[in-house]
Amino acid sequence: MSTYADRLAALRDELARRRLDGFVVPLTDEHMSEYVGAYAQRLAWLTGFEGSAGTAVVLPEEAAIFVDGRYTLQVREQVSADQWSYQSVPETSVSSWLKDHAPQGGRIGYDPWLHTKGWVEAAKKALAARGAELVAVETNPIDAVWPDQPLPSDARLVVQPDALTGQSAAAKRQDVADWLTREGADAVVLSALDSIAWAFNVRGTDVSRTPVALAYALLKADATAELFVDPDKVDEAVATHLGNAVHVRPRDAFGGTLASLAGQRVMVDPERAVAAIFDSLAEAGAKVSETRDPTVLPKAIKNGVEIAGSKAAHVRDGAAVTRFLHWVDTVAANGGEDELTAAAKLEAFREETGALKDLSFDTISGSGPNGAVVHYRVSEKTVRPIEQGTLYLVDSGGQYVDGTTDITRTVPIGTPTAEMKDRFTRVLKGHIALARAIFPKGTRGSQLDTLARQYLWQAGLDYAHGTGHGVGSYLSVHEGPQRIATPGSGQAGGDEPLRAGMILSNEPGYYKTGGYGIRIENLVLVEEQAIEGAEKAMLGFQSLTLAPIDRRLVEVAMLSPEERAWLDAYHARVLREIGPLVPADVRGWLEQATAPLV
């Protein structure tokens, strides 16, 4: 279909055929994934929105798209205001909007494989106040009108060896079995793709930028498991790795298996499992217990092998990023380059490591005003040149078998303005405050978020995204449950106690609409702190990311002696660890880029 207006019209025709007065379109898949395979990109196909979080609602006479503050600018650039109204989360929600806009007595459709049980309950309650009904569809109406919808990936699984995981898959499943026994349960459903990849020590390429495979799993109290995945994706090496205790069954057999669990006590995570799973178990007569996926916390708390792998990945990645920053400074700044060529150059430097498996997300390569779009995605339509008098923001990461990286740097092209330096230094002060934080065990990310914002707040400024997200071990670049975020920001997390071994980002920023964007992001490892005379067990952060922070944007007079000492020590470490890995010309540039502040 030639235009997004045509697609919207086709969906409305399909809804009318099904006697539905509306339909809800989330950006997710059957596994509640953040990043989804091409076949599940229904929101992008319908609206043109290419962000990583959002929902649309289509009614007969109006349509709305819901995004949080990260995508306020992006949604307006990609989605037509002629067909769609823009709704801001958390100021409003799909449920509250439907309560006010759904036709009286109407039937609003939803795909139970794409929503959580909690969302369904809230939407039903909201619609009931309108005299309307929420209706589960058997097949997704968008699939009926999407003529060239891609098929799910048929790529094979690969083994993630114990030498990189630090714990065998059998040992992980035994830990889950022991937990089930303590809870008096028979089985637990795993539907989150990264949980399955972690629990079975396998990886895949079914989702761009995240090394996972489309599958479901049922882990049992006797330490056996059923893995629901296309059998053609399992070769002899993977079958041998899985062993006799894991029974591989077709992915489409999952629903039928749920229907056979009558009388059994089954544990299901309401945040990560879709409503259809709960519906199937309830109809089967299973005893459902809602609890958090038992792999979530051990997956987030990296063991010694995973920590060593992450550190190695960050040194390798830091050398590639440093080569890129040298290129920006010595080549791109002279003209002739743009956001697309820069992103390609950065990926090429990572490829030259010989270890890159994929990027960990689409590179955010934003010059000037595009840098103010928090999750900007460069395209031929939006590309801007890298030109004098601007700031260039690049947020990127790599997937390596031993670790996942995520780094943001902001670079001045030419001479920065006084305002740019002021804003950058306030962001840097917040970054350093969080990096230097010492806090007692049990502290939550939401309690630390203010540290990173305080210097922006002093100038009446802020940023509309979280300060830190968890990161996986050759898995999802956005991994829970840990997070550093303002409570009520509309982005999940912030309430999980931080624990030694967790990896998070530290990424405060500032964005001037129509002007420029600033973000400084390092990944950090939560570590125990030995403090003489301490009366509590204390934690702190070690920075994992190693690449220079641009000193030309620092207003040195705004830094305290402690802040200057931190930045100088960080840069000395960057030079020490990255310097030997880069060519001589880059080494000379790096020595200047990491010199002590004066």
Confidence at residue 492, expressed as pLDDT on a 0 to 100 scale: 52
DSSP state, residue 442: T
**How many angstroms separate the CA atoms of 393 and 51, rounded?**
18
Average pLDDT (282-287) is 97
Asked whether residue 556 carries a pLDDT value surpassing 50, the answer given is: yes
Asked whether residue 487 carries a pLDDT value surpassing 80, the answer given is: no
| Dihedral sign (CA 68, 74, 78, 84) | positive
Phi and psi at residue 361, to the nearest 5°: -170, 165
Asked whether residue 376 carries a pLDDT value surpassing 70, the answer given is: yes
**How many angstroms separate the CA atoms of 257 and 190, rounded?**
13
Q: How confident is the model at residue 136 (pLDDT cuts 50, 70, 90)?
A: very high
Asked whether residue 490 carries a pLDDT value surpassing 70, the answer given is: no
* Of 420, 497, 372, 455, the residue nearest 74 (C-alpha): 372
Asked whether residue 361 carries a pLDDT value surpassing 80, the answer given is: yes
Average pLDDT (366-391) is 94
Distance of CA 541 to the CA centre of its chain: 21
Token pair 């650039």: residue = 77
**How many angstroms separate the CA atoms of 262 and 281, rounded?**
8
Asked whether residue 380 carries a pLDDT value surpassing 70, the answer given is: yes
Residue at 308: amino acid letter: A
Q: Which residues are CB-contacts of 128 (< 8 A; sequence separation ≥ 6)? A: none
pLDDT in tens, 300-319: 999 999 999 999 999 999 99
* Cis peptide bond N-terminal to 90, omega within 30: yes
The structural domains of the chain, ordered by start, are 4-145 (3.40.350.10), 158-299 (3.40.350.10), 301-593 (3.90.230.10)
Residue at 135: amino acid letter: V
Angle at 558 between CA 556 and CA 560, to 5 degrees: 90
Asked whether residue 122 carries a pLDDT value surpassing 70, the answer given is: yes
Structure tokens at 190: 């795993």
pLDDT in tens, 563-583: 999 999 999 999 999 999 999
Residue at 210: amino acid letter: T
Confidence at residue 493, expressed as pLDDT on a 0 to 100 scale: 55
Note whether 230 and 157 are within 8 A (CB): no
Nearest 10 degrees: Cα torsion 106, 107, 108, 113: 170
pLDDT in tens, 195-218: 999 999 999 999 989 999 999 999
Distance of CA 406 to the CA centre of its chain: 10
Helix, strand and coil percent figures for the chain, each rounded to 5: 40, 20, 40
Q: How confident is the model at residue 486 (pLDDT cuts 50, 70, 90)?
A: confident
* Of 577, 585, 576, 593, the residue nearest 317 (C-alpha): 577
Structure tokens at 175: 């830990």
Q: Which residues are CB-contacts of 474 (< 8 A; sequence separation ≥ 6)? A: 160, 164, 203, 211, 309, 357, 399, 400, 401, 402, 403, 404
DSSP state, residue 497: B
**How many angstroms separate the CA atoms of 216 and 227, rounded?**
6
**How many angstroms separate the CA atoms of 428 and 184, rounded?**
50
Q: Which residues are CB-contacts of 85 (< 8 A; sequence separation ≥ 6)? A: 62, 63, 64, 65
**How many angstroms separate the CA atoms of 66 and 69, rounded?**
10
pTM of the model: 0.94
Mean pLDDT of the residues in the chain = 96
Q: Which residues are CB-contacts of 54 (< 8 A; sequence separation ≥ 6)? A: 26, 27, 43, 65, 66, 67, 71, 75
Q: How confident is the model at residue 1 (pLDDT cuts 50, 70, 90)?
A: low
DSSP state, residue 5: H
